[in-house]
Amino acid sequence: MTLRDYLTDYLAYLEIERNRSLATIANYRHYLERFIAWLADTTGGVHPADITYERVRRYRLYLNRLKNADGTSLKRSTQNYHIIALRAFLRYLQKRDVATLSAEKIDVGSNDARHVDFLEPEEIARLLASTEGADITSLRDRAILELLFSTGLRVSELVSLDRDHINLERREFSVRGKGGKVRVVFISQDAAAIIRAYLAKRTDIDPALFVRHGTGRRAHADKDSLRLTPRSIQRIVKRRAAAAGITKDVHPHTLRHSFATDLLRNGADIRSVQALLGHASITTTQVYTHVTNKNLRDIHEKFHSKNTTARTS
């Protein structure tokens, strides 16, 4: 079998046995097809045994020098995604007792420091205030913003919610996140109240929690779903941020970052935040060190300033 044959099997394995999302599978396909095409073009190798440490080293040089359509280089994180996918593929081949390079011989490089955008409490208040109004669209948009900020949901998780998924009395519900992992999220009182008001004003029978409204669509759709798409949510968030006079590039994930930042600022430990966000690894959650760094500064000033004052008096 050639590498392309094994790749087809591997993608099916990711979907069926590992329960990976279609988006993840598409990314792995892209990364691994690029490697296989490079290997065939530069070395003529088309079989697992043709993957060697030296060839992987040369491939990494190729990625580092590769240019995007706009002439920019691949981000370090993007290069690492290629290598992570390759290592996972090699582990799969080893599991099937296929002779190839050991995945353990390949190290993943360090990523560039990631910058996290989040909103300050005053900006959150302005964003929510931009939805004032009793009409159904304003209620819907307020409910979306409140739910994103009080739960830290990913936009894909938000749009998949149905009305009967949420328990507004207990103010909690389960959500299936990346990799099919289920976690419990909790809703603030404000979010529960606005969702209840929004649903009470709905007259359609669509099961989706958040739907399109307007004269351009039938109030009761029996063929087409009215469910909002991730792109629709992005447009709503950006439009409301602009109306609030927020100059930052605000998108749904900004509210997820703001949710995590708010928890840490108010004393939550990072392991709890990891669980609430649904991160598989604590390393992912540690991107919020901008908060813990600030706390360390406060501790330094609180406990170190006394000595400083004594020396200068």
C-alpha span between 88 and 55 (Å, rounded): 17
Annotated catalytic residue 256 = yes
SS3 assignment, position 188: coil
Q: At what angle do helices 121-129 and 136-151 cross, to 10 degrees?
A: 160
Strand partners, 162: 208
Residue among 20, 154, 240, 257 flagged as catalytic: 154
- What are the tens digits of pLDDT across the range 154-208? 999 999 999 999 999 999 999 888 877 889 999 999 999 999 999 999 999 999 9
Q: Which pLDDT does position 222 carry in this prediction?
A: 43
The two tokens of residue 94 are 């080893």
Annotated catalytic residue 213 = no
Report yes or no: 36 and 48 within 8 Å, Cβ to Cβ. Answer: no
Annotated catalytic residue 154 = yes
Report yes or no: 143 and 198 within 8 Å, Cβ to Cβ. Answer: yes
Annotated catalytic residue 91 = no
User: Torsion over CA of 174, 177, 181 and 182, rounded to 10 degrees?
Assistant: 0
Q: Is the pLDDT of residue 111 over 60?
A: no
Q: What's the pTM value of the predicted model, to 2 decimals?
A: 0.67
- Positive or negative CA dihedral for 243, 246, 247, 252? negative
Residue keyed to tokens 């100059």: 247
Range 184-221 burial, b when 16+ CB lie within 10 A, else e: ebebeeebbebbeebeeebeeebebbbbbbeeeeeeee
Residue among 58, 202, 253, 265 flagged as catalytic: 253
Confidence class of residue 221 from pLDDT cuts 50, 70 and 90? very low
- Positive or negative CA dihedral for 149, 151, 154, 156? negative
Annotated catalytic residue 304 = no
Residue among 178, 202, 251, 265 flagged as catalytic: 178
Q: Is the pLDDT of residue 294 over 80?
A: no
Confidence class of residue 215 from pLDDT cuts 50, 70 and 90? low
SS3 assignment, position 73: strand
Contacts of 165 (CB under 8 A, 6+ apart): 173, 174, 175, 209
Residue among 20, 140, 256, 257 flagged as catalytic: 256
What is the set of domains in the chain, with CATH numbers? 3-105 (1.10.150), 121-295 (1.10.443.10)
Annotated catalytic residue 251 = no
Burial class (CB in 10 A: 0-12, 13-18, 19+), 261: buried
Q: Is the pLDDT of residue 58 over 80?
A: yes
Mean pLDDT check: name the lowest of 8-22, 102-116, 215-229. Answer: 215-229
